[in-house]
Amino acid sequence: MDLERYIRDVPDFPKPGIIFKDITPLLADPAALAAAADHLAEPYADAGVDVVAGIESRGFIFGALVAERLSAGFVPVRKPGKLPCETVAASYELEYGTDTVEMHRDAVAEGHKVLVVDDLIATGGSLAAACKLIGQCSGQIVGISLLIELCFLNGRAKLDKYDVHTLIQVAGE
């Protein structure tokens, strides 16, 4: 199935010069949604994944579907101040300033095998920060599975320690 057909390019959103990859047509199509989740999970079917970590907010949608396919649990990686119990936190650079992600400290146990899932990798900053959180809990990252890779931003360079699996590669804008 050609999943790329279900991704809509929206020029100049949320600001001029950005081509936003809108995944809502894919989410709305039952067969495309199921195929995306199957393909995100597939390479890790025998990896013994204990939990899938999904990054707020589109990573929650795919992460939960992948967790179900791998018979694994799901862990939310959230924006600051959203999680009620003790958290670990990691910050990353934005074009202007920094951003932070948080995870419950007890969400990943020492040695737990973790698969990280999100919708898209751009600069890779948020994924690298999510991986740091898992490291802080002594979890073992078995891979990173993503729907879309914006190859021209070379976000992979920040994740070179990990197995990064992407379903749709966008070469240039």
Residues that bind ligand AMP in the complex, under the rule CB under 6 A: 18-21, 58, 118-127, 155
Is the Cβ of residue 24 or residue 138 nearer to ligand AMP in the bound state?
24
Which position among 58, 69, 105, 156 bears the catalytic label? 58
Minimum CB separation of residue 48 from ligand AMP in Å reads 26
Is the Cβ of residue 109 or residue 157 nearer to ligand AMP in the bound state?
157
- Judged on CB neighbours under 10 Å (0-12, 13-18, 19+), 163 is middle
User: Among the residues of the chain, which ranges form H helices?
Assistant: 24-28, 30-41, 58-69, 125-136
- In the structure encoding, which two tokens stand for residue 51, read together? 């939990």
Look up 95 and say whether it is catalytic: yes
Minimum CB separation of residue 46 from ligand AMP in Å reads 27
Instruction: Tell me whether strands 98-104 and 87-93 are parallel, antiparallel or unpaired.
Output: antiparallel
- In the structure encoding, which two tokens stand for residue 72, read together? 């694994």
Is the Cβ of residue 63 or residue 155 nearer to ligand AMP in the bound state?
155
Minimum CB separation of residue 147 from ligand AMP in Å reads 9
- The residue whose two tokens read 């966008």 is 170
Look up 86 and say whether it is catalytic: no
